[in-house]
């Protein structure tokens, strides 16, 4: 089953839980915005619950209409939903309660065996009030808490229920009689604990509590956490205490706010130089490339003779670029696979295979399952992720964190550029281990990579030009994107961004394939965005792509050309010319992608769409 990530926040402390939970949900709304709800512990043996379909603002309006005096207390939880089971309606919004009204649950993920659990409850005479898979948990926990070995013990009750569930889930549970305790569980879905002075948080993302504390604790697979105002206890589902891994968040609240921009995505586009710098920082020392967490020996890396890159969506496009770099620098074959297809085609893997798994969230379900399949085949796995302590890095043999900071806009921008840089660091690390690059060559390649933040700052100067161009393209029925070599994945990414944000028909093509069919799409006035290769690095490809431009222009296409500064050969054939800094061929996607991000966002804005929250999408896919 396919599903998306929802936003969860829980709090016990000394502040108004209503304020903390609503503020946290506001920072998590990018994870789902089909409905929202809260459940607050008032300390008098009851729960104050409110839910609403639609955006978080709808919930806030209902709370205001009810009156804040009905939502007192210093403990509670909230949820913002991306709908999977059940339509995005009031009755399907979280939290869900049991038949006594005392147990409330919020849930991220999909419970795959919910149908049999629902049938079990209905056979026992329990009437469910929603269409969701989540509600069964509330009733099961309520039943376990009322009688049996877990009677009166909310932690034990959730542990018993969680052990029965199949699928991927984060669950947070409260009980009206337990006003000093909140219990949460996770399996293959994100959950992090925030630890403050006299207050404790649980959330899907540290952004929910970063205003109050930077001290966090990551939860492992099949673990429970019980939080109180004074701290937390982590156990497995059976109740055995387990070790935890505290960490400190290295960004602050301002990184999660718009900072005066019209929308988060534009802010994050402008943050790309810093994201690149942070990703590269510290990864070259003593003449060599250094990874973040490496549990693969140099000899193991030296023995690698094949690489698979597995990823989804935008991360997959970064993987296509990894292929160019790794094959060029290391002279070993690289295959790039959609993670959702990887294990189903029975790929040939072994101890001499490296699987590079790319996931911004570190929780993408298809990529996580690809990692697990690779591990069963004894392949080595290296994760590239933007999320410290997430599941994919935890299950991998080595990790490279992108350190791009929080990305609120659903469509990936700065995380994409950071992934490209990280992919290239992996290529250099392999070249280093295999001896295909001398130390001075590694230093040279890294130095060119380290110069890219300044190049991206330079290309950001084109933003006003591209924003103006978008006003003249927003009525187009379709847009085509063309590229060669590393420009081809850039074309694919440009088309994906336009589809995601502006809901337009957009296709990316390898320009050499134009004459094999796609040229039939060319008609008068059709915008075609062309990524020109470097004159210095690929003069032959440059000439071929120039011929492609002439072909489509002769058939009435409107050409929008992205080319290096000083490329005068293309100017006569460009209806619109966007100039980017001249950089080495492999690094060109780091600058050529930026105008395409701005173009898609601005076209979407002019068409009246929410740039940060495109319809039917949320930040990551955390269940299959």
95 preceded by a cis bond (ω within 30 of 0): yes
Is residue 285 exposed (0-12), middle (13-18) or buried (19+ Cβ within 10 Å)?
exposed
At 231, which helix (H) or strand (E)? strand 231-236
Find the range with the poorest average confidence among 27-36, 215-224, 606-615.
27-36
C-alpha to C-alpha distances, 555 to 525, 562, 576, nearest whole angstrom: 9, 20, 17
pLDDT at 1 over 50: no
Six-digit token pair at 31? 């994870």
**Candidates 102, 437, 613, 619; catalytic one:** 619
Six-digit token pair at 242? 């387990």
19-49 burial, b for 16+ CB within 10 Å, e for fewer? ebbbbbbbbbbbbbbbbbbbbbbbeeeebbb
Q: Where are the alpha helices (DSSP H) in 313-397?
A: 313-330, 339-342, 365-376, 391-394
Q: Which pLDDT does position 389 carry in this prediction?
A: 73
Six-digit token pair at 137? 């948990």
Q: Which pLDDT does position 189 carry in this prediction?
A: 80
Q: Which pLDDT does position 44 carry in this prediction?
A: 79
Q: Which pLDDT does position 538 carry in this prediction?
A: 65
Nearest to 47 by CA among 178, 136, 239, 207: 178
Find the range with the poorest average confidence among 130-139, 176-185, 613-622.
613-622
pLDDT at 192 over 80: yes
Angstrom distance (rounded) from CA 553 to CA 490 = 21
Residue 536 binned pLDDT confidence (cut-offs 50, 70, 90): confident
Residue 465 binned pLDDT confidence (cut-offs 50, 70, 90): very high
- Give me the percent of the chain exceeding a pLDDT of 90: 75
Averaged pLDDT, 247-253 = 78
The residues, ordered by sequence, that sit 6+ positions from 238 with a Cβ below 8 Å of its Cβ are 159, 163
Query: Which residue, chain included where needed, has tokens 């609120």?
Result: 408
Angstrom distance (rounded) from CA 563 to CA 87 = 46
Q: Which pLDDT does position 390 carry in this prediction?
A: 82
Confirm or reject CATH 3.40.50.720 for domain 7-256, answering yes or no: no
C-alpha to C-alpha distances, 116 to 113, 121, 310, nearest whole angstrom: 6, 9, 34
Residue 86 DSSP label? S
Averaged pLDDT, 447-463 = 96
Q: Which pLDDT does position 21 carry in this prediction?
A: 97
Residue 4 binned pLDDT confidence (cut-offs 50, 70, 90): very low
Dihedral in degrees, nearest 10, Cα atoms 564, 579, 547, 533: 40
Q: Are 40 and 21 in contact (CB under 8 A)?
A: yes
Find the range with the poorest average confidence among 180-194, 248-262, 417-431, 531-545.
248-262
Q: Which pLDDT does position 249 carry in this prediction?
A: 84
Q: Are 9 and 77 in contact (CB under 8 A)?
A: yes
Total count of residues recorded for the chain: 624
Residue pLDDT, tens place only, 145-171: 999 999 999 999 999 999 999 988 999
Residue 165, classed as helix, strand or coil, is: coil
Q: Which pLDDT does position 2 carry in this prediction?
A: 33
At 341, which helix (H) or strand (E)? helix 339-342
Residue pLDDT, tens place only, 344-367: 988 999 999 999 999 998 989 899
Q: Which pLDDT does position 251 carry in this prediction?
A: 67
Averaged pLDDT, 68-87 = 87
Averaged pLDDT, 482-503 = 97
pLDDT at 271 over 80: yes
Residue 127 DSSP label? P
- Give me the percent of the chain exceeding a pLDDT of 70: 95
Residue 506 binned pLDDT confidence (cut-offs 50, 70, 90): very high
Averaged pLDDT, 17-23 = 97
Delimit the CATH 3.40.50.10490 region(s) of the chain: 264-450, 459-606
Residue 3 binned pLDDT confidence (cut-offs 50, 70, 90): very low
Phi-psi label, residue 523: left if phi above 0, alpha if psi -120 to 50, beta otherwise: beta
Find the range with the poorest average confidence among 126-130, 419-423, 480-484, 614-618.
614-618
Delimit the CATH 3.60.20.10 region(s) of the chain: 7-256
The CATH fold assigned to 264-450 is: Rossmann fold (3.40.50)
pLDDT at 343 over 80: yes
Q: Can 312 be counted among the known catalytic residues? A: no
| Sign for the pseudo-dihedral over CA of 49, 51, 55, 60 | negative
* Intra-chain end-to-end CA distance of the chain, in Å: 5
Q: Which pLDDT does position 194 carry in this prediction?
A: 97
**Residue 597: how many other CB atoms lie within 10 Å:** 27
pLDDT at 283 over 50: yes
**Candidates 6, 267, 330, 497; catalytic one:** 6
Angstrom distance (rounded) from CA 396 to CA 384 = 10
The DSSP secondary structure of 563-574, one letter per residue, reads: EETT-TTTGGG-
pLDDT at 29 over 50: yes
Q: What is the CATH number of domain 459-606?
A: 3.40.50.10490
Residue pLDDT, tens place only, 403-425: 888 888 899 999 999 999 999 99
Six-digit token pair at 505? 């028909």
């Amino acid at each position: 089953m396919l599903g998306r990530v929802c936003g969860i926040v829980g709090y016990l402390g000394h502040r108004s839980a209503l304020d903390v939970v609503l503020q946290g949900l506001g920072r998590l709304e990018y994870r789902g915005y089909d409905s929202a709800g809260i459940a607050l512990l008032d300390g008098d043996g009851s729960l104050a619950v409110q839910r609403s379909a639609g955006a978080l603002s709808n919930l806030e309006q209902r709370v205001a209409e009810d009156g804040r005096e009905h939502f007192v207390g210093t403990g509670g939880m909230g949820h913002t939903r991306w709908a999977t089971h059940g339509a995005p309606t009031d009755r399907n919004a979280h939290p869900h309660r049991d038949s006594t009204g005392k147990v409330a649950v919020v849930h991220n993920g999909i419970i795959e065996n919910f149908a049999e659990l629902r049938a079990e409850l209905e056979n026992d005479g329990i009437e469910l009030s929603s269409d969701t898979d989540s509600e069964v948990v509330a009733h099961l926990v309520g039943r376990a808490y009322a009688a049996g070995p877990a009677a009166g013990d909310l932690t034990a009750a959730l542990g018993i229920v969680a052990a029965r569930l199949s699928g991927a889930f984060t669950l947070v549970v409260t009980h009206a009689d337990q006003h000093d305790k909140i219990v949460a569980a996770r399996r293959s879905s994100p959950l992090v604990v925030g630890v403050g002075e006299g207050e404790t948080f649980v959330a899907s993302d540290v952004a929910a509590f970063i205003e109050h504390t930077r001290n966090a604790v990551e939860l492992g697979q099949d673990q429970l956490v019980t939080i109180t105002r004074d701290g937390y206890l982590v156990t497995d589902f059976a109740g055995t205490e387990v070790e935890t891994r505290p960490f400190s968040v290295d960004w602050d609240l301002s990184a999660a706010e718009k900072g005066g921009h019209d929308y988060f995505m534009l802010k994050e586009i402008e943050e790309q130089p810093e994201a690149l710098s942070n990703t590269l920082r510290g990864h070259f020392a003593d003449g060599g490339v250094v990874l973040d967490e490496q549990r693969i020996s140099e000899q193991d890396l030296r023995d690698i003779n094949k690489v698979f890159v597995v990823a989804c969506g935008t991360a997959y496009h970064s993987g296509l670029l990894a292929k160019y770099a790794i094959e060029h620098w290391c002279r070993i074959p690289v295959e790039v696979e959609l993670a959702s297809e990887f294990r189903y085609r029975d790929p040939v893997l072994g101890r001499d295979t490296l699987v590079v798994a790319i996931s911004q969230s570190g929780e993408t379900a298809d990529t996580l399952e690809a990692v697990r399949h690779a591990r069963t085949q004894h392949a080595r796995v290296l994760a590239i992720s933007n999320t410290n302590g997430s599941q994919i890095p935890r299950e991998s043999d080595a990790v490279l964190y992108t350190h791009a900071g929080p990305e609120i806009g659903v469509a990936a921008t700065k995380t994409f550029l950071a992934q490209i840089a990280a992919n290239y660091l992996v290529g250099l690390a392999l070249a280093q281990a295999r001896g295909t690059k001398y130390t001075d060559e590694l230093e040279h390649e890294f130095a060119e990579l380290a110069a890219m933040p300044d190049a991206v700052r330079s290309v950001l100067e084109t933003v006003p030009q591209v924003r103006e161009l978008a006003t003249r393209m927003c009525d187009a029925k379709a847009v085509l994107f063309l590229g060669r070599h590393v420009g081809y994945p850039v074309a694919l990414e440009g088309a994906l961004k336009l589809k995601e944000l502006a809901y337009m028909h957009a296709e990316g093509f390898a320009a050499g394939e134009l004459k094999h069919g796609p040229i039939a799409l060319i008609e008068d006035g059709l915008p075609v965005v062309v990524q020109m290769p470097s004159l210095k690095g690929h003069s032959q490809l440059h000439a071929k792509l120039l011929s492609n431009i002439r072909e489509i222009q002769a058939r009435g296409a409107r050409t929008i050309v992205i080319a290096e500064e000083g490329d005068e050969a293309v100017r006569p054939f460009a209806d619109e010319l966007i100039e980017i800094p001249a950089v080495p061929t492999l690094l060109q996607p780091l600058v050529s992608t930026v105008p395409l991000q701005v173009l898609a966002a601005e076209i979407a804005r002019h068409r009246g769409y929410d740039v940060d929250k495109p319809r039917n999408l949320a930040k990551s896919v955390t269940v299959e």
